[in-house]
Each structure stands twice: as structure tokens, then as C-alpha cells.
Structure 1
Amino acid sequence: MPEGDSPTVARRRVRLALREAREKADLTQAQVAEEMEWSLSKVIRIENGDVSISPNDLRPLLAYLGIRDRTTVGAMVADARIARTRQRQAWFQTPDFRENLTEATRKLVEYEHEAARIRSYSVYYVPGPLQTPDYAKALMTRFEDELSADQIGRRIDARQLRRESLLSRAGSGQVRILVMLDESVLRRTIGGAAVFAVQLRELRRMIDDGLITMRMVPFSLDAPVTNNASFDLLSLGEGEVLYRETGLGDEMIEDRDTTAKHGARYDKVWEEVADEATTLAFIDRQIRSLEDPSS
């Protein structure tokens, strides 16, 4: 494993290499499971990154897939060993969070720990790690018919843990965060005027402190990034991953063509939307109108 690589990046490299080798050998996941005497679900979970493969399982699998070069095998075994060490220690892998967060959200949190750059686009609300506790609580209560009180509580806790981790990394220069918000996000008073005003002031503080760079997609711009989905593009040591969310679900996508298309679209619209100064001026006007409606 190259020096400085993280366990997350190492695990991703192993599973992508395994999937590529399987497809190159024209084998199905079911055929691999039968040959290795594993369950099909185990193969699927390894390739999806839900679990790490042990070195003892990896060696015979590599032989079956035709990967026998000693240097390649040694590097992949080293990756697998280090990846398994970190996974057991992560807060989002503990039972309380595993049971109350979606699979895609857990992967998102894992990649946020390692990303060098995050390009975020939101069409509905302020992105999770940038939310204040009261804003997050007000937002989550909208899903009371779909989620239990425990699920809501855990998801709010997770957002605060993500926030602390991500902003700490941004403050130390480990990650650059670009945020593009639809104008509706900066108008939608989730939680009421007082809660939303505090949320906007917190966005202002993060911008002023250099933790995030933000631009607004105004209603006047007839060039939406996507029609109905918010997403995050995270740049890792092994390319990019895409987390996409709609009002009904979320998913993690690692297909290179899909991530490339989203990245190209994001960059194009980023250059067309309101710049940072215009966005800040809009936020300031919103804060004044919320705190002093008569102004």
C-alpha cells in the first residue's frame, strides 16, 4: 500500500480490483461464491464495501481470479489487513448507528473522513454536516411518519458527529468544501424564522472562517444542476464517489462515467451561478428580514 493511504482508500482499492478482475474473467458473483464456498451475500457485501475481506480469504480468491503476480498480491493483502483494522473502530459502524443509518449514509460518512475535496449541491435544504442542531431537529421531525423517535435521534447525532469531523478537517486544510445551494434552500424557513436565522448566521460564519466556499443557484438561472436530486461528489485518492439523495431515498455511486458527468455538470453551473460575494449579500438580506421583518 502506498505510504499515506488511508484504510478507507485501501479497502476501496481492494474491492474495485476484485470486481474488475471478476468481470474481466467473465465470472458472476454467484460463480465466485460457489467456487469459494461462500454465501452469495458475502461476495456482494465485499464488492459493495459493506465488509472488508480478510487476508486469508483474499489469497485464494486472487488465485481463482488469476491474479498471481507476487507484488500485486502482496500489496492487496497489505491493503486488506489495514482496512479491517480501522473499520472496527469507526463510530458509524457501532450497532446504534448501523441500525439507524442507511447503508449509503454510512459509506458517505466513511468517505468524508478521507476526502480531499467535496463538491456539494442541495436543492432542498442545508447539507447535513452544515446544519445547526435546531435546524437538523426541525428537519428530521418532518419524517415522523417514516422514522421512529430513536432513528431520528440517531440521525441527528450522526449529523453533529459528521459536522465536527468535517469542519475540523476543513479548518486544518485537509479538505476543501464547495457548496452550491438552490435559492430555495436559502429561503425555506425550516424550523421557523428564529431557527432559520441562526442557521443562516452559521453558514455566514463558516464562509467567513474559510471552512466552506458557497455559491447560490438563483431562480433566474435556467440551468439546474439536477432536476430533483441533491448530491455530494467526494474526491479520494482513488478517484471520486457520488452520494445522491432524493426525498425518497439515497444511494452511493462509484461508476466513473456517472461521477464524471455529475462533476462536469457541477463545474459548469458553478461558473454560471451567483458568485461568493453575491451569495453572501443574499444571505445577509435574508438574515435581516428574518430577524427584523419590518426592515
Structure 2
Amino acid sequence: MHICDFPGCSASFNKLWRLKEHQCSAHTGERPHVCTHPGCDKAFIRSYHLKRHLLTHSDTKEEHKCSYPGCDRVYRSVQSLRKHTKTHTTPKPHTCRECGASYRKHTQLAVHRAEHTGTLPFLCDTEDCGASFQTPSALRKHQKTHRGYVCPEEECGAVFAKWSDLRKHAPTHPKVCEVCQETFSRARQLKLHMATHSPSRLVFACPEGGCKRLYTTPYNLQQHIASFHKRERPFRCTRSDCSASFSTKQSMMRHFTRTHSGAGEQPTPGKQERPKRSLISRISGHIVRKSEVVCGEGEEMERE
């Protein structure tokens, strides 16, 4: 058994990954699985939730149709289809006395009965609260406002009602690189940066003939291939009188702001305007300054 070691918590789990999920959701508020799609900063506790979210960014969305007679429901993932199929095959023992509607779970019947009685069946058990809700999910979301999300920094201890508020607070505790003293707003950014100080790090070489570019992440390599070799420009300017297209969403948004915004428009209050960076400067690769191992080859690269 894996026991939670946070003060005042004695929850135990038979698998380590269940313990980690519990600590993220109940104590730290951390969401380790971050979406890498350009312009999207969503993060999730479970890797499965991230995979399901990535389907929303896919250009080719596979459809899974329900085969039950008389049902035309369509889902993006097999897991969603399987969950829906249970509504046809599982017995529904809980029946409403007023209208005869049947449900698989008692909580589903309670939600339905609220339509007849006009009362909210799920009550918050926190002292001096008394709030009530129509669904269990709404109640769980409300209860998090009592527990809150605690800042992981020991010297801070600030508590926030929403996870988004904690993420906005995180940049107030910058993470400092011990080697070069460069600061970062998030621990994940510092972790990626530390790879640049490693005497031997994993890099990914461009497979296109004659191209010597190297990248530290597969995503940057894919962006390079799509932009420079395949010349893909999937993001078009949203104005009807402009035909400009770009390889990344950020480039399109920057173009729209600088080209089509009003001449006297000021930057958004509270935000600093970033210096202009070209697409080449962001995804053109890096110069190998140390001996590095190329992914899949196991050979050391000499300095350029």
C-alpha cells in the first residue's frame, strides 16, 4: 500500500500512480501533463485526459458511431463510445415514481427528481455553508473552494479557490537556474532549460537530406519540418480582406495585432510587450556547443 504523507491525510492506495493523482488533486494542485499544442496552455492530472484533449487539436477527427438500433450518437474516442454503450446494455433499476423514467445510478435519479421537486439534492457538508447543487460534479467543484489550492512554496502558503488563480500566482515565485542565474516562471521551464547545461544531452536531427538542424524536443523538430521543408501554412489571417497565412498560431496572432490593430492601441494593461522575434529565430535549431548524442544514432557530434 502507498500511503499519502501529507499532514492530516491518511489516504492509502494500492498503486503508486493512484497516490500521485490523489496528491495532485487533493494537496498540491499540480497538473503535470501539459498540452504542447501552440497557443494552448491547458494541463491535466491524468495522462488519459491529456490524450483525450489532444483530439480537439487534431485536423482529422476519427468518428466512432454507436451501433445500437435507433441511436445515432457519434464520439471522437473509443473510450467515450464504450461509456455510452453501457447506457443501452446496463439495467436501469432506479425508476422515477412521477414520470416512470429509469436510470442506472441512484445519483442520476436524484438529479432527475430535482426537476419535479424544484429542490437541489446535493448539499455541501462544510460547516456554515449550506450551499446545494443539482449534480454531484457541481458539488465537488464547489467543495474545492473550501479546501483551496495551496501554493507549493514553503515561505508563501497562499491559498486560492481556483486552480487557474494558483497558476497566475506561480510567476511571482520565479525559478532560478543555479548555473547561469536565468529566471523562469514555472518549474517545467527550468527543467527544460537545465538540459542546455548538460555535458551530454539528447537531440533530434532533421531527417531531410542536406539539413543539419538539431533540436532538443520532437515538437520543435516537427515544427521545423512543417515550416521549412513542407512549407505548410495552416493558420490563415481571420480578416476577410487579408490572404496571409502562417505556420504557427502565434505568428498569425502577432501578424493580426501588428498589421490590423488600431494605430493608437496600447498593449494590454498588466502585460509587457514581448520583443519582436522572427519565426527563424524561434525554430531554426541550435548550434552544437558541446558533445551531444543524436537520438537513435549513439554518435557524438563534434562542435560546429
Q: TM-score, normalised by structure 1?
A: 0.23
Structure with greater contact order relative to length (CA < 8 Å, sep ≥ 6): 1
Larger Rg: 2
Q: TM-score, normalised by structure 2?
A: 0.22
